[in-house]
Amino acid sequence: MKKYVLAEYIRLSMEDLDLYDSDEKAESVSISNQRSFIRTFVDQKEEFKRAEVREFVDDGYSGTNFDRPAIKELLGLCRQGEIDCIIVKDLSRFGRNYLEVGDYLEQIFPFLGVRFISINDGFDSKDFSGQTGGIDIAFKNFIYEMYSRDLSDKVKSGVTTCMKRGEYYAGCIVYGYQKSSDGKRMEIDREAAVTIRRIFQEMAEGKSAKVLATELNAEGVPTRLTYKQAKGEQLNRHYKADIWNRNKIHSIVHNRVYQGDMVYRKAIRTKVGCNRKVRQPEESWIIIPDHHEGIVSQELFKRANDSIRKGKTADYDRSAVRRGIVFCGCCGNRLELRKTKHPYYLCKRRNLLNDVKCNDLYVEKGLIEQSIWSIWQEHCRLFETISFSQFFEKRQGELKRREDTLKQQLVRLPAEKINLYERFRSGAVRQDVFLKEKALLNQQEEVARTELEGVLEEMDAQEKKRKSYRSIVDLMERHKQDETFTEEFMREMVDKVIVYEDRRIEIVWKYGEEFEKIR
């Protein structure tokens, strides 16, 4: 028998910091306190004694959206039918967006058969079977979201005031600087400043950014990320070690912070809970001249920027179709298309490091297009020779007939058990025979029920495969008359192309997942 699976969800984010006016309040929202609070609740419930308990924790994620790793994993398991009940300390731990939270409580979880318990709110969806949680829960969700929005506005207003006053307010301090002891000012990091001055000086003297990046990599000079990680600073958890390249050099040379100015609000989030930032026009920036001590003089800053060529450094294909489609199989970076008489691709990291496979990667644009086109034609021929639609119809017919047979058995077997019991009660069947035949009927019923579940699952899987097949056929219908490789074809059919140093080419089709489903 499948075990009852109980999911404990715990969340703590920076938006909870306003509660930290006292140690008592800080502890009340901590991860450890939430865990202890939920465990105590579970231990007191007899119905959960034999449940399998799984814990999901999002530490440092906002509740204003559901873009959180643990909640994504949890909801994915719910959709797969692997979670029976979710328990949270209060509704704000699950989420602060009242529309999304309400949708989960009133629509999605009931549909999936997932029970939801919010301890502090006294909410248990089991008590509202066939109903909504009532206006009390909806109102609490609304209050949580309004609280987040109000808090966000107040924090933005306070931070903007401090910015204009000259105090430093940014998440990760720029390379070459460090925070003062009070955390409100920028101070020059003497060790990193040596690299910054070198970059400005050599760029001002006319050295190209790519040559300079190659030299820095060869000498083992740490990038901003590598340097700060070596100092033990906590950066974005998704960042990995990197190397110097032309873009990193240019971003340093263009950054006004190195001549002593500070620029805030170049990009802002348009709404609470949204991770995407929107770049703002220059007139909306907060610019504070002479905000801090500059690492380089204004004169050197200007010379370094003037030395960067304003024209194109190379002729690259910038079309929306090809940008970002072709990748290096060695390092994972995008390849650059050099538009010559015979266009070809090179890795963006070519020659930035010695003795790496990226340096040998070279492939003609025509070879990639020829490979894509020939494989596409093979796929078309495959679909013309194999009648998948007839196969699906035949298999679904077989499954439907088996489903009907099993359902008839599940109607017949209980009737036989009743008949057997009546014969036992009348004395027509001995007790030992009755028990033996009853066990046999129970076993047959269990086998039929298990098989029926398998048949229904396969029918659902076959229907999904049929839809996948139909989507691929629709794509092929749209492009079967194409005689040559076109940008429209590339945009609609190809997700990305991966090229390896031995000129091996891997094509990831946009319909690849559907194709795999029907194999």
pLDDT at 52: 92
- Tell me: do 142 and 16 sit in the same domain: yes
* Domain stops at, among 275, 307, 339: 307
The mean predicted confidence, pLDDT, of the chain is: 77
Q: Which of 498, 496, 495 is closest to 511 using CA atoms?
A: 495
Residue 429 lies in a domain: no
* Domain stops at, among 307, 330, 356: 307
Residue 214 lies in a domain: yes
- Tell me: do 208 and 109 sit in the same domain: no
- Tell me: do 127 and 35 sit in the same domain: yes
- Tell me: do 186 and 292 sit in the same domain: yes
- Tell me: do 67 and 116 sit in the same domain: yes
- Tell me: do 82 and 39 sit in the same domain: yes
pLDDT at 317: 46
- Tell me: do 104 and 56 sit in the same domain: yes
What are the helix (H) ranges across 177-289? 190-204, 209-219, 224-230, 246-254
Residue 325 lies in a domain: no
- Tell me: do 182 and 140 sit in the same domain: no
Which of helix, strand or coil describes residue 6? strand
pLDDT tens digits, residue range 442-474? 899 899 999 999 998 888 887 777 776 676 667
Inter-residue long-range contacts of 440-449, CB under 8 Å, 24+ positions, other chains counted:
441/413, 441/416, 441/417, 442/417, 444/409, 444/413, 445/409, 445/410, 445/413, 445/414, 448/406, 448/409, 448/410, 448/413, 449/410
Residue 31: pLDDT above 90? Answer: no
- Tell me: do 148 and 213 sit in the same domain: no
Q: Which of 47-61, 177-191, 205-219, 294-308 has the lowest mean pLDDT?
A: 177-191
Residue 18 lies in a domain: yes
- Tell me: do 123 and 181 sit in the same domain: no
Residue 65 lies in a domain: yes
* Domain stops at, among 260, 285, 307: 307
CATH code: domain of residue 82: 3.40.50.1390
pLDDT tens digits, residue range 305-356? 988 855 444 444 444 334 568 888 888 788 888 888 888 888 877 767 777 7
| Crossing angle of helices 190-204 and 246-254, rounded to 10° | 100
- Tell me: do 187 and 143 sit in the same domain: no
Residue 253 lies in a domain: yes
- Tell me: do 184 and 50 sit in the same domain: no
What is the DSSP-derived secondary structure letter of residue 53? E
Domain boundaries, position 291:
177-307
**Interior/surface letters 252-264, b for 16+ CB within 10 angstroms, e for the rest:** bbebbbbbbbbeb
pLDDT at 295: 93
Report d(CA 463, CA 253) in Å as an integer.
57
Residue 256 lies in a domain: yes
pLDDT at 462: 78
- Whole-angstrom CA distances from 113 to 45, 85, 123, 184 are 20, 9, 16, 51
How many domains, the chain?
2
Provide the strand spans (E) within 63-143.
Answer: 85-88, 115-118, 123-124
Greater pLDDT, 195 or 335: 195
Residue 41 lies in a domain: yes
- Whole-angstrom CA distances from 214 to 258, 297, 350, 454, 472 are 22, 25, 10, 59, 46
pLDDT at 481: 64
CATH code: domain of residue 250: 3.90.1750
Report d(CA 106, CA 326) in Å as an integer.
44
pLDDT band at 71 (very low <50, low <70, confident <90, very high): very high
